[in-house]
Amino acid sequence: MNIQSLIETKVKEGFLALYDVEIPSVEFQATRKDFEGDITVVVFPLLRYKKGNPVQIGEDLGKYIVENINEVTNYNVVKGFLNLVVDDSFYVNFFNEIAADARYGFVKEDETDARMVEYSSPNTNKPLHLGHVRNVLLGYSVAEILKAAGHKVYKTQIINDRGIHICKSMLAWKKFGEGETPESTGLKGDKLVGNYYVKFDQEYKKEISELVASGTSEEDAKKQAPLFLEAQEMLRKWEAGDKEVVSLWEMMNGWVYKGFDVTYENIGVNFDKLYYESNTYLLGKDIIEEGLQNGVFYKKEDGSVWCDLTDEGLDEKLVLRSDGTAVYMTQDIGTA
């Protein structure tokens, strides 16, 4: 029984004991800040059952409550308001009870009322950063709140485990890694792979600078840099199922997943289901091919496939590169 219910019971008992009158209910309100007390009984509505001075009735009830409820230690009456002081021990005990009950306030789960919460969903070319941590904590918290409210919750993420950005770290490790592993370096796997993503960018910028110095425009240099062309070729080989490339991809992604797992464990979060872009992008390609036949998408002269969203106030959107490789939107279509 909470304190208000207990006080209501004793006010009714006291009214019957003092005046031989039964009352159906008691009106409460929060005690005004300029008065001493924690909870206030409004005496005026009780005058319909017992005529008299509201201050005196308040005094009578206050004395009765203090004598009969250990948690109420004092009272004062201001006009028709009986202000009751609740002992601090009540709140301490109340919070201790809450702390001891891991499921305090939880609603029984309704399996027919399901929710899916997606969070984290990182790329496998670098470690989780502060933005991921923010997203993870928000997503996990929302999921746990929904569970406590009685929903069946599925905590998920879609891991962006393929694409040109993944091939960049793979290519850099192949060229400059000299066989380094998480074990040989003492680094978490995601940190090690992230170092090679940075290494790719450093070497790529050097090549761009050399091309620009030789008279190539910066825009063309970015497209013609040997490292970038090699990364594109590696992506084509991956999508074609090249055994050597796929084996390298599996090894480095394995390093990253182990690193992610350490971070998630340290934060204290988990997932019920994992989805991977490497699975959903193929479905996206199938849908795009069907959309081409139905006129939803269109192909440009270079062979790239686009969706025209200008009628919706948006732009044209690339959904497939000219060499047939997928972009992020490809897997988005497949996942949806």
Alpha helices in 69-129, H assignment, sequence order: 88-100
Per-residue pLDDT at 193: 98
Per-residue pLDDT at 1: 58
In this structure, what are the phi and psi dihedrals at residue 53, rounded to the nearest 5 degrees?
Answer: -75, 120
Per-residue pLDDT at 236: 95
Domains along the chain? 3-90 (3.30.1360.70), 279-336 (no CATH)
Q: Residue 94 and residue 288: Cα distance in Å, rounded?
A: 59
Rg (the chain; Cα; Å): 34
Q: Taking the complete model, does pTM exceed 0.85, yes or no? A: no
Using alpha carbons, list the distances in angstroms from residue 130 to 48, 98, 122, 259: 63, 32, 12, 15
Residue pLDDT tens, the chain, 336 long: 589 999 999 999 999 999 999 999 999 999 999 999 999 999 999 999 999 999 999 999 999 999 999 999 999 999 999 999 999 999 999 999 999 998 888 999 998 899 999 999 999 999 999 999 999 999 999 999 999 999 999 999 999 999 999 999 999 999 999 999 999 999 999 999 999 999 999 999 999 999 999 999 999 999 999 999 999 999 999 999 999 999 999 999 999 999 999 999 999 999 999 999 998 888 889 999 999 999 999 999 999 999 999 989 899 999 999 988 888 888 889 887
Per-residue pLDDT at 334: 86
In this structure, what are the phi and psi dihedrals at residue 107, rounded to the nearest 5 degrees?
Answer: -100, 145
The upper half-sphere exposure of residue 273, i.e. CA atoms within 13 Å in the direction of its Cβ, equals 9
Q: Give the sheet arrangement for strand 72-78, strand by strand.
A: 28-30, 39-42, 81-86, 72-78
Token digits of residue 330: 């490809």
Q: Taking a C-beta distance cutoff of 8 angstroms, is the pair 233, 227 a contact?
A: no
Per-residue DSSP letters for 23-60?
A: -S---EEEPPTTSS-SEEEE-GGGGGTS-S-HHHHHHH
DSSP-derived letter for residue 310 is: G
Reference 122, options 257, 307, 303; nearest CA is 257
